[in-house]
Structure 1
C-alpha cells in the first residue's frame, strides 16, 4: 500500500505516522531508532508481500555497504520493541532464503488533528531507546508515574534479573515532558569506587565539579531545576548513593529520584517499592490456553520463545510444560528469557528435563528473595553449562567490558589462547540468541553489552580462570587502538558525531587506566593510553579527572628504568592544558609547558614544540606578560612551518593575538583579516582544529580577536557582528572551551561596551553555565568578576581580580578598579593594549578629588593616555581619554579647547552612535557648544 504523509497506519495497539516518522503505542510514543523506523515503513508499504534482504539493505543504507548482520540486529530490535509474538501475535515473519514480510492486519486512517503536536517531542533526556515491550508491570508503572510527583524519592528493590531497570526506564519514559529540565539516567553498574558517584552524575548532567565538596556543588547546580534522576544499579554503592540522594533532596526541592537496588538505600525520605516475580498460574489450577496466557510469566516466556524461534507455537498439549517451566523459574524475567532462548535447541520437554536436573533440590514454591537469587544463579549456571567451550570462553572474556562494545572490540579482547578470530562471530551470535548478550542498535553501528547481572557472573568466571591478566591486557590494548582512532578522527569529523562514536568507550577507558596505573608490573601500556586519550577527556569536559590520571602516569614514567621522552612530552602537554583551564597560569601550568617544549626539542618534534610554545604563550597572555608572548610568537618562524598550511595558519592567528594584546592594533587588524581570508579560502572557517596547547577552535579564536580589535579601533557595530559570528560558530560545533573563550574575551564585553545590557547579562549567564559545565575554572572566575559590573552582583561576594589580563579587562569595565600595580604596568609599557585605559582610570580617580595639584597630574596622565591610544590605533580608548580631558577643561572653563579636542575624535566614528561612550560625547559636545560663541 502507498503510505501518504497525512495518513496513519493502524495495526495491533500501534499507529504509525509516516509523515512524522512517529510510532504511537496506544497514546504513548514508541521510540524507535532511525534504521528500525526505516525498516518498519518499508515493510508496511509492502504489507503482505516479501521484501528481500538485499532490497531492505539497499533502501535502509542507500549510501553504505553493510553486512547482513546489521539488518538482522535492527530487525530483532524492531520485533522486540513491537512485542512481536506477545499473546501469539505476529507482525513480521522471516521467509526462509527470501526475506521478511509484514503479516499483521493493518488499515490506513487519516491522521487528523487528534495527535498532540508535542507527542513526538522526545528531547530533554538521555534514556535509551526501548528494546522490549513491558509485560506484566503496567499497573505498577502507572502507580509509580502517579506517585513520583508526590513521593519525590522512590527505590525499586528486588533481586537481580527481576526487571527493576526495565520498570524504572518505562516509568521515566512515560514521564518525558513532565519535568521542565528533563530526565537523566545515571547507571552505576560500570563503576566500583564510591568516590566516583558524584563525578559520574556530574558527567551525566554535563557539569564539571571544581571544589572539594561535590555533593554541595551538585545540589547547588540542581537547586532551581525541575528534573527526574533515575539512578540505576545502586546495590554496590549504597552508602554513597544514600548520602547523595539525601543531599539532593534537601538542596534541590524540585528534583525527584527514582532508584533501583537489590536492597533499600535506607536513606531519609526514601519510599521502597519491592518488585515481585511475574505472575505464574497456581499449582492446582487447570487452565485453558487463553487463561494461561493471562499470566505475565507465561506471556514473557512465549514471546521470547517466538522471537528466538520463528516456527514456535504454543499448543494446548505443551501448556503444562510451559507452566511448569515458569513456576520452576519463579517467574524471574531474566531466568525466563534465558530458558526461552533454549527452546529452539532443546524443545519444551528437553528444556524442562534440563531444568529439573540442574535445579535439583531447589524448591520453587513460595520462594523467598534469597530463593529467587538462588534461582537466577542456578539458571545462569545452567545456561553457561549449555554453552560449548568456545562460547563459555567468549562470555568470560566479555565480562571485562564495562560499557557497550562493537563486534570488532569483542574480537580484539576475545581472540587469544584457545580462540581463533574465525570463531568469534559465531559465538557472539549464539550468546545473543541465548539471551546472555544484549544488542544496542544505533543508527550507524551495532553495539553489544552484558546486563549487569550477567556481566558480574561472567567476570566472576573470568577471575576464577587463569585468563584475567591476559584479558585485561588485550582490553587495554583495544582501548588504546580506539583512542588512536579517536585522535585521528578528531579534526576530521563533526564534534557531535565524534562524541557519539567514542564516548561509549569512557567506562572501559576508566577501567583500563584504573587497572593499568595501579596494578603491579609493567605500566607502559596504561601510560600510552593516558597520553593518547586526551581528546576524549577534553571533549567530555572531564579535565579534573583526567589530570589525576596524567599525574599518575607521569609519576610512573619518571620511575621507569628507561623513560620515554616523547610520552613524557605528550603527558606534560596534557597536564599543561588541564592545569590552564582548571587553575589558570599557575607555576605548575608554566612548568608543564616549559618541560614539554624541552622534551619536544630533544625529540626533534616540531609539532610538539608548537603545542608547547602556544600553550605557554596562552598562559603568558592570561598573566599579562604580553611582551613575552609576542617574543614567543616570533619563535614560530624558526620552526619551519611554512610548508604546512594548517600549522602556518594557526601560528599566524597566534601572532594576531600577541600583536593585539601588546597594543599594536593596526598590525593586528591587518594580520587578523589575512587569517580570516586564508581560512575562508582554504575551507577552514568552520574547521575544528586541535593542534595547540590550550585547544580552541581556530575560526572561533580568530573571529574573537578580530571582534576585540574592531571595537578598540572604533567600529562597535562591526565588532558586535563579528563577536556574534564567533559565538555562533562555537555553538554550532558545540565546543565548550571555545564557547567560553569567545564569550569571555569578546561577546560579554562588547555587548556591555555597546550598552546592550540585556544581551550582556544573557551572555554572562551562558558563560557561567558553560564554564562550570566544561570545567573551565579560569573563565568561570572571570565571569564572576564580570558579574560585579554587568549583572550588578555584590562586589563583596567576589574577590577583586588578582593580576594579569582579567585585572586589565575589569578596569575597562569599571575605572574604579585601578590600583598602583596597574599604574606601574601602564607607566612601564607592560600593560600593552590597556595602557591608555589604566592611565585614564587613574586620572579620573584624581579628578574626583577636585584638587588643583591632582588636576594637573590628571591632565598629564590624560594627555599621555591620548597619545598612547593614537599610537596604538585604539580609537575607542582615544575617545574615552579625550572625553575625560574635555570634561576637565570644561570644569576649568576651557570650553573651546575642550570642543576642539573632542569633536575631531568623535567625527572619526562612522558607526555606533547609540553606544554609551558616543552618546556621552554627543551630550558633552552640546554642553561645550553652548559655551562657545558662534
Structure 2
C-alpha cells in the first residue's frame, strides 16, 4: 500500500511506538492521545503522504498555510514542535530529517494495519486543563518520576526544590502529564515567573481557570471553585513570591479538601502538610572514566548531551575518541540540565572538544554575585555567560532586549521591542531562530499560535546584560509603546469580533502590560506612557474581570497627571470616562460614579470633544435612569442635538437612540417609538456601520439597544406579541455577536420583563438563568444585582434594601408584581417621579386602598381615574387596560355594571393582538361577567 492510499483509507499507520489514524487526525502513544497542534498535524500528514521523499519548504507552507503569507521561521517552529512531540532523536530514533536547501523528509519505516484490529480502543476525553502540548522525553528522572507520581497521589502538597536550571519545571510538567487521568476536573499550570506583585497572584490564577467571578476578592471565588472539584494545581516558579504563595496554598488546601498542589521553588513553602522533594543534578561519569560508550551512555547527563546535540545537528554521533571529553564536559557542568543543553547547542559549531576547552577557560572566572551562591548556580551563570559570548553581536542584542518580556511574546512584539539602530526589524526572526537553536530561548505553540519566552533563570541573566549595556530604560520604553499600539488596536476590535477570539488574540500579553505599567509608574519610568497604556488597555482588564486591579492603575494615572505642570486634559478625560463606566458596572449610581461622569463632561466641553461629551452625558443619563431620575435623564438629552450638529456624523445614531430611551422612561411612548424606529432604520440603511457604542456611558450594541427600546415601547403601546418578537430578536442579536454587556442589558430591560408581562413563565425562567450566567461571566456586578432582584420574585421575602440600586429596578419589579411596591415607591409615583411606571404604580396604590379593612372607595376611584389619564397621555395602552380593569371591578362592586362594561370594552376593543396574555384574559373574563 502506498503512503497516499494510506492517508485516504481507514488504516492505522504505525510509526515507531505511535499509532496514527490519519482520517481521524489522531495519534496514540501507548493508547493515550498525543496532544499535537493542528499545524504540526498537517505537516505530519503531508510527510506521511510523501514518506521517503523530500517535501520542499514551499510545498509544506502552501499546504499548511494556504490562505496566509508566513515566514519560513513558522514552518521551522512547527517542525521542531512535531519532532519534540515524537521524541525525534531520542535513543537514536530518527523520524524527520532536514535536507539542506531542499526541505524535509520522513525517513522512519512505516507499517500499517486495519483499524478493525484496534476496535477495543475507546478514545477517552481529555480532562480540562492548560498543560503545554506533549513534552520531549524525560532523561534521567525515571526513578524520581515514579516516586513523585505516587507521592502526589497520596499527599496534597508536594514541593520540588532545587537551584535554577536543575529541571524542576520539566519534572513537574511530566508528573502532571502522567496524572491527568487521576484528576477528573483538570490539571492546571500557573506560571508565576512573569508576576512581580503578590497581589496579582490570585487574580492571575482566576484568569488561568477562566473563573466565573462572584466576589470582589478573587480568593473567595477560587476557594468556592476548588471546594467541590478534584484538581491538581501546578504552581511553578514560586521563589520570588514565596510568602504570597504559601498563604494562597494554605488557604486553598484548608478550604478545598479535593485540591492537590505540586509546586516548584528554590526554597520550600514551609507550611503544614508540605512534602519537600529536592531535584538533584543528572548523573555524570566519574573522573576515573568509563570502559566504553555503552557504559558511558548509562549516565543521564551524557544521554542529555548527546540527544540535544543531535537535535541541533542531525548528523552528530558521539565517537569513542570524544567519549572521555564528553564525560568531562558533563562533569564540568555539574550535571545541570540547562547548562548541558546550552553546551550541546554549540557542539555543531565547535565540536565537543572545542566546547569543553572554551567553557573550561570561562568557568575559571567566577561570575559576579553573592559569595554564598551555590557552586551549581555559579556554574549555570558562567555557562550562560559563555553561551552569550559565542553569539554574534546582533544576536546578543536580541537576547538581552528580550529580557524585558515577562511572559510569552510573539515575533511581531519582538520586532517592535528589540529592533533599534543596530538591528533592523526584518533581522529579528533570524536572531530569534538562532537563540532558539542555542537553547537560550524557548518556543511554544498554543492553539497554533507561535509564542516565545525566556525561562526565569535565562531572563534574569538577559536583564543583567541589558542593565550593563545601559539599554534597560530605552527597551522598557519601547515595550510600553508597543503595547500602547497593540492595545489601541485591540480597543478598536473590542466587541466587533467574537469575545473568545478577541481574548485569544490579546489576553496573553497581560503580564507584560503589568510589567510596562509598573515600570512606567516607577521612579525610573515614564508615567506619560503608563497613563496612555492605562487608558488603551481598558477593554482587556474588563474582559478579564480585573476592574479592581485596573482601577489601581487608573488611580496612579490620575495622580501622575496631577503632578504634571501642564497635564493633558484629553488623557484625564479618557480616564474619568473609564472610571465612570467601571464604577457604574461595579457600584451603581454612587456619588463617585456621578462625579466621574460630571468631571468628564466638564473636561469634554473644555476640549471641544463632542464624542467624549456624548459619552459623559450618556453615562450620566444611564446613572439617572438606573436611579429612577427620569426627568434629569431627559434634560440631559437636550445636549444631543447640538452635539450631533457640531460633532462627527456617527454620533447621530447614538443620540437618536438615547433620546428615545429617555422619552420612553419619562413616559412619552409616542416619541420613544419614533426615535426607536429612526434608529433601526438608520442601522438597516448602513449595514457596514459599527453598531457598538464602546465608551458611550455603558457600552451596548446599538442594534440590540434600539431593539430593546422598541420592544418595551411596543408592549406599553398594547402590542405584546410584537414586543416579544422584538425582545427575542434583540437577545438573539446580542448572543450572535457574543457581547456580554449587550446580552445583560436586553435580558434586564426587555426579555425577562416582557416574558413576565405576557405570562410566559418558561421563557422568563430561561432568561433569568441566562442573565445570572452572563452577569457572572463578565463580572458585571450592576447586572448581577438586577438578576438577584428578579430572582426574588419567586419567593415571599421582600427584596433586601439596596439604596444604590433603587429606582428603575424597583419600578420594574412593581410592574411585574404588586408586592414589590412599598410605601416609598407609591409616594414617589404620586409625586409624579415614576415616569413610565406612574400609571401602574398608582393603580397598585388604589388596589391597596380598596383592600384595607375600611376601604376608601372615593380615594381609590380618584387614583384610578388619574392613572387612566396618565396612561392615555403617555400612550401606554397596556397600563390603561390594567387601570380600566381595576376601575371596572370597583364600579361592578358599586353596582354600576353598564358603566363598568362600557369603560372596559372601549379599552379592550383597541387591542389587535395578545389576547392570550394575562391582562387581556383578565379583562375578557370581567367583560363576560358584566354581560350576564
TM-score (norm 2): 0.90
3-state SS of the aligned residue for 1:563?
coil
Against the structure 1 CA distance between its residues 155 and 762, is the aligned structure 2 distance closer, same or farther, given a 3 Å change threshold? farther
Against the structure 1 CA distance between its residues 903 and 104, is the aligned structure 2 distance closer, same or farther, given a 3 Å change threshold? farther
Against the structure 1 CA distance between its residues 205 and 812, is the aligned structure 2 distance closer, same or farther, given a 3 Å change threshold? farther
Instruction: Establish whether residue 852 from structure 1 lines up as the match of residue 855 from structure 2.
Output: yes
Alpha-carbon offset, residue 11 of structure 1: 0.6
Alpha-carbon offset, residue 420 of structure 1: 5.6
Instruction: Establish whether residue 598 from structure 1 lines up as the match of residue 602 from structure 2.
Output: yes
Listed one character per residue, the Cα deviations across residues 50-104 of structure 1 (whole Å, up to 9, x for unaligned) are 1111111111111122222221222222222222111111111111111111111
Alpha-carbon offset, residue 341 of structure 1: 1.0
Instruction: Establish whether residue 357 from structure 1 lines up as the match of residue 357 from structure 2.
Output: no
Q: Contact 1:84–1:303 at 8 Å: present in 2 too?
A: no
Find the partner of 1:737 among 729, 741, 745: 741
Q: What corresponds to 2:846 in structure 1?
A: 843
Separation (CA, whole Å) in 2 of partners of 1:144 and 1:687: 55
Separation (CA, whole Å) in 2 of partners of 1:342 and 1:176: 36
Instruction: Establish whether residue 498 from structure 1 lines up as the match of residue 510 from structure 2.
Output: no
Instruction: Establish whether residue 392 from structure 1 lines up as the match of residue 396 from structure 2.
Output: yes
Against the structure 1 CA distance between its residues 158 and 822, is the aligned structure 2 distance closer, same or farther, given a 3 Å change threshold? same
Separation (CA, whole Å) in 1 of partners of 2:189 and 2:175: 12
Q: What corresponds to 1:99 in structure 2?
A: 103
Alpha-carbon offset, residue 830 of structure 1: 2.6
Listed one character per residue, the Cα deviations across residues 247-278 of structure 1 (whole Å, up to 9, x for unaligned) are 22233344433332222212233333443434
3-state SS of the aligned residue for 1:125?
coil
Q: Contact 1:785–1:800 at 8 Å: present in 2 too?
A: no
1:629-778 matched pairs, under 5 angstroms = 629-640=633-644, 646-683=650-687, 688-690=692-694, 692-757=696-761, 760-761=764-765, 763-778=767-782
Query: Greater CA deviation, 254-263 or 571-580?
Result: 254-263
Q: What corresponds to 1:867 in structure 2?
A: 869
Separation (CA, whole Å) in 1 of partners of 2:813 and 2:403: 55
Separation (CA, whole Å) in 2 of partners of 1:590 and 1:402: 38
Alpha-carbon offset, residue 509 of structure 1: 1.4
Instruction: Establish whether residue 538 from structure 1 lines up as the match of residue 514 from structure 2.
Output: no
Q: Contact 2:656–2:679 at 8 Å: present in 1 too?
A: yes
3-state SS of the aligned residue for 1:65?
coil
Against the structure 1 CA distance between its residues 448 and 901, is the aligned structure 2 distance closer, same or farther, given a 3 Å change threshold? same
Find the partner of 2:467 among 458, 463, 468: 463
Query: Greater CA deviation, 82-91 or 381-390?
Result: 381-390
Q: Contact 2:644–2:655 at 8 Å: present in 1 too?
A: no
Against the structure 1 CA distance between its residues 204 and 846, is the aligned structure 2 distance closer, same or farther, given a 3 Å change threshold? farther
Against the structure 1 CA distance between its residues 183 and 720, is the aligned structure 2 distance closer, same or farther, given a 3 Å change threshold? farther
Separation (CA, whole Å) in 2 of partners of 1:442 and 1:765: 33
Against the structure 1 CA distance between its residues 152 and 812, is the aligned structure 2 distance closer, same or farther, given a 3 Å change threshold? farther
Find the partner of 2:565 among 561, 567, 576: 561
3-state SS of the aligned residue for 1:268?
coil
Instruction: Establish whether residue 332 from structure 1 lines up as the match of residue 332 from structure 2.
Output: no
Q: What corresponds to 1:810 in structure 2?
A: 813
Alpha-carbon offset, residue 202 of structure 1: 2.8
Q: What corresponds to 2:826 in structure 1?
A: 823
Separation (CA, whole Å) in 1 of partners of 2:887 and 2:753: 24
Against the structure 1 CA distance between its residues 416 and 62, is the aligned structure 2 distance closer, same or farther, given a 3 Å change threshold? closer
Instruction: Establish whether residue 440 from structure 1 lines up as the match of residue 444 from structure 2.
Output: yes
1:249-264 matched pairs, under 5 angstroms = 249-264=253-268
Instruction: Establish whether residue 17 from structure 1 lines up as the match of residue 12 from structure 2.
Output: no
Q: What corresponds to 1:402 in structure 2?
A: 406
3-state SS of the aligned residue for 1:484?
helix
Separation (CA, whole Å) in 1 of partners of 2:232 and 2:872: 58
Q: What corresponds to 1:243 in structure 2?
A: 247
Separation (CA, whole Å) in 2 of partners of 1:291 and 1:900: 109
Against the structure 1 CA distance between its residues 567 and 19, is the aligned structure 2 distance closer, same or farther, given a 3 Å change threshold? same
Q: Contact 2:561–2:568 at 8 Å: present in 1 too?
A: yes
Q: Contact 2:611–2:647 at 8 Å: present in 1 too?
A: no
Find the partner of 1:39 among 37, 40, 43: 43
Against the structure 1 CA distance between its residues 412 and 834, is the aligned structure 2 distance closer, same or farther, given a 3 Å change threshold? same
Separation (CA, whole Å) in 1 of partners of 2:708 and 2:598: 27
Alpha-carbon offset, residue 400 of structure 1: 1.1
Unaligned runs of 5+ in 1: 363-367
Alpha-carbon offset, residue 433 of structure 1: 1.3
Q: Contact 1:158–1:261 at 8 Å: present in 2 too?
A: yes
Alpha-carbon offset, residue 126 of structure 1: 3.2
Against the structure 1 CA distance between its residues 836 and 178, is the aligned structure 2 distance closer, same or farther, given a 3 Å change threshold? farther
Q: Contact 2:160–2:276 at 8 Å: present in 1 too?
A: yes
Q: What corresponds to 2:237 in structure 1?
A: 233
Separation (CA, whole Å) in 2 of partners of 1:906 and 1:299: 90
Q: What corresponds to 2:785 in structure 1?
A: 781
Separation (CA, whole Å) in 2 of partners of 1:175 and 1:894: 81
Separation (CA, whole Å) in 2 of partners of 1:405 and 1:803: 46
Find the partner of 1:609 among 613, 636, 643: 613
Q: Contact 1:700–1:738 at 8 Å: present in 2 too?
A: yes
Against the structure 1 CA distance between its residues 66 and 563, is the aligned structure 2 distance closer, same or farther, given a 3 Å change threshold? same
Query: Greater CA deviation, 436-445 or 143-152?
Result: 143-152
Q: Contact 1:899–1:929 at 8 Å: present in 2 too?
A: no
Against the structure 1 CA distance between its residues 762 and 198, is the aligned structure 2 distance closer, same or farther, given a 3 Å change threshold? farther
Q: Contact 2:626–2:805 at 8 Å: present in 1 too?
A: no
Listed one character per residue, the Cα deviations across residues 750-769 of structure 1 (whole Å, up to 9, x for unaligned) are 44444555654554344344
Against the structure 1 CA distance between its residues 597 and 297, is the aligned structure 2 distance closer, same or farther, given a 3 Å change threshold? same
Query: Greater CA deviation, 557-566 or 898-907?
Result: 898-907
Listed one character per residue, the Cα deviations across residues 810-867 of structure 1 (whole Å, up to 9, x for unaligned) are 22244223234323432343322211222123223323324232x4323332333333
Paired residues, what number?
Answer: 922
Instruction: Establish whether residue 308 from structure 1 lines up as the match of residue 337 from structure 2.
Output: no
Alpha-carbon offset, residue 199 of structure 1: 2.2
1:65-464 matched pairs, under 5 angstroms = 65-112=69-116, 114=119, 119=124, 121-122=125-126, 124-130=128-134, 132-137=136-141, 148=152, 151-174=155-178, 181-207=185-211, 214-280=218-284, 286=290, 289=293, 292-293=296-297, 295-360=299-364, 370-416=374-420, 424-441=428-445, 446-464=450-468
3-state SS of the aligned residue for 1:457?
helix
Separation (CA, whole Å) in 2 of partners of 1:863 and 1:752: 26
3-state SS of the aligned residue for 2:101?
coil
Q: Contact 1:439–1:447 at 8 Å: present in 2 too?
A: yes
Q: Contact 1:83–1:303 at 8 Å: present in 2 too?
A: no
Separation (CA, whole Å) in 1 of partners of 2:918 and 2:174: 55
3-state SS of the aligned residue for 1:640?
helix
CA RMSD of superposed structures (Å): 3.4
Against the structure 1 CA distance between its residues 522 and 134, is the aligned structure 2 distance closer, same or farther, given a 3 Å change threshold? closer
Find the partner of 2:836 among 815, 826, 833: 833
Unaligned runs of 5+ in 2: 367-371
Q: Contact 1:148–1:154 at 8 Å: present in 2 too?
A: yes
Against the structure 1 CA distance between its residues 151 and 181, is the aligned structure 2 distance closer, same or farther, given a 3 Å change threshold? same
Separation (CA, whole Å) in 1 of partners of 2:716 and 2:121: 52
Against the structure 1 CA distance between its residues 863 and 422, is the aligned structure 2 distance closer, same or farther, given a 3 Å change threshold? closer
3-state SS of the aligned residue for 2:444?
strand
Listed one character per residue, the Cα deviations across residues 880-916 of structure 1 (whole Å, up to 9, x for unaligned) are 4344445545555556655555566566666656655
Listed one character per residue, the Cα deviations across residues 296-349 of structure 1 (whole Å, up to 9, x for unaligned) are 444433332222112212344444444443344344332222122111112122
3-state SS of the aligned residue for 1:260?
strand
Query: Greater CA deviation, 546-555 or 174-183?
Result: 174-183
Q: What corresponds to 1:365 in structure 2?
A: none
